[in-house]
A and B are shown apart, each in its own frame.
Chain A
Amino acid sequence: MKKTKSSPKAAAVTHLFEGETADACSEIRKTVDGVLRQASDGGISSATDNDALLTLYIIPDKVQFLYIALNQAFAHRTGFTPFGSSEIKKSSTVGAVRDGAYKHCGVKCSHT
């Protein structure tokens, strides 16, 4: 445990969501970060700061296709409403995409 606490990466993957939706929020965030990590050649991980930008890692005109990858990743969730084709802009942050995923899954989360 001492080793885990001293590691920033290990600490970051422990999502401290609160309330009844904590488990669902943690799962959604893990899925979003997984899609972004693959789309960015590993440039975005679950340890990425919320203010980091998609445009730091992904060709701007490819950001428009992230919505398909996210829709496919969440298709199995009951009540999930798909992202629109122009919903994720090249100026969107990782945090904004996570918030969008919570909204499309119909789940309120305590933080991004």
Chain B
Amino acid sequence: MRNPMLAMLLLVVVPAAHAQSSILDSFTLRLAKTPDLKDTEKPATVGFQRNDGGKNEYITQGAFKLDFDFGAANATTFSPNISWNHNTLASTPTNNWSVALGLKHRIVANEKLDTWVFSGSLGGQEDTTKSSTSTVAKASLNWFGWPEWKRAGSLDYWAIRPTLTVFSKHVSNAAPDKVTGIVPTGTLAGGLIALDAQAQLGRWTFSASTQALRPTSVVNGDTKRTHHLHSASITYQFVDSPTTGTAAKASQWIPGITLMRQVGDDPLNTIPKAGFTQLAFSLRY
């Protein structure tokens, strides 16, 4: 996805793909930044980025996901998906593709909708920049409960969502390290704990996330250490959220602009250690 305009074109094409027929009522096709397991809204982005070294580059990232509901109360969803992450930063360029089969089961714990979400996925990743391929198996647990706050009479709210994940990533093919000559193949396995926070005040949305990844085994040439990844963003949407109306006219696309700061690394999702600030146009459904 070297051409940002192609990503923009995809954003335009998606509304038609979201339409559901009577035969395919259980299917939903959607575009998001990542086909993640957290059920939080992450719009696809195409944008301009300025890294800590002062170099300006482009970034495009997004995902297509197909959801198929089944089981008792439709509480289980099968989600095949494909995603990309293209970053032209000269110091750490990335051009990643991934395909996965996801399975998610939701349990409403009580009538106030405190909900547990169990997720699992099996997929493959290809890093075309490093000529590496890998397979990933993950199992996660999300709790949609404490803490949260809601102001009646508006959309204003804030909430924190914890996530626990265990994972195993097997790298089967990779280019040798230019310095050591070691081929970084093998299995990266371990656990990850993350906290995602979001607050919405009118047209403004504040998001922050922090995660710690602790491997129990690593690929050849790597060392066992805890990896941290922190990010914070502020989004201003150009139109009000659809707060009134019937279901037929309530759904709409909401354009906005997002300023994000991210620091750290995540070997599970092939995010190299870096710090950058990103200004991006976003489109949320």
A residues neighboring B (CB under 8 Å): 35, 38-39, 41, 43, 51, 53, 55-62, 64-69, 71-72, 75, 81-86, 89-93, 95-96, 99-100
Contact present for B150 and A57 (CB under 8 Å): yes
**In the complex, what residues of B have CB within 8 A of residue A66's CB?**
113
Q: Which residue of A lies closest to B148 (CB)?
A: A59
Partner of B242, one of A59, A68, A91: A91
- What is the total of A-B residue contacts with beta carbons within 8 Å? 105
**CB pairs A–B below 8 angstroms (15 shown):** A56-B153, A58-B113, A60-B157, A61-B41, A61-B159, A62-B144, A64-B39, A71-B74, A82-B69, A84-B74, A89-B247, A91-B245, A91-B250, A93-B250, A99-B246
Contact present for A68 and B106 (CB under 8 Å): yes
Contact present for A82 and B73 (CB under 8 Å): yes
Q: Kindly state whether residue B6 has any CB partner on chain A within 8 Å.
A: no
B residues neighboring A (CB under 8 Å): 25-26, 28, 30, 39-41, 67, 69, 72-75, 77, 106, 108, 111-113, 115, 144, 148, 150, 152-155, 157, 159, 161, 198, 200, 241-247, 250-251
Roughly how many angstroms separate A86 CA and B251 CA in the complex, as a whole number? 12
Partner of A68, one of B75, B153, B161, B247: B75
Q: Which residue of B lies closest to A84 (CB)?
A: B69
Given known A59-B148, A84-B26, contact A65–B113 (CB-CB < 8 A): yes
Contact present for B247 and A99 (CB under 8 Å): yes
Q: Which residue of A lies closest to B251 (CB)?
A: A89
**In the complex, what residues of B have CB within 8 A of residue A75's CB?**
72-73
